[in-house]
Chain A
Amino acid sequence: MSEAAAPAEPALIAFRGIEVAFGGKPILTGIDLDMHKGEFLCVVGPSGCGKTTLLRLAAGLLPPSAGRVLYEGHDIVGPQRDVAVVFQDYSDALLPWRTASGNVSLVYETLGTPRDERADRIASVLARVGLAEHADKYPSQLSGGMQQRLQIARCLAQEPKVWLMDEPFGALDAITRQSLQDEILRIVADTGTTVFFVTHDLEEAIYLGHRVIAMKPHPGRIAATYPVDLPHPRDQRTTPEQPEFMHLRRVLLEFIRGTQT
Chain B
Amino acid sequence: MQLQALMMFAADAEKTQELVTLVPWTFILQIINLFIQMYLIKRFLFKPINNILEKRKELADKEIREAREAKEEADSLKDQYESSLTNAHAEAAQIVSEAQKEAQSKADALVKEAQQEATDIKARAAADIEQEKKKAINEAKDEIGGLAMDIAGKVVEKEINEADHKKLIEDFISKVGA
B and A form one assembly: no
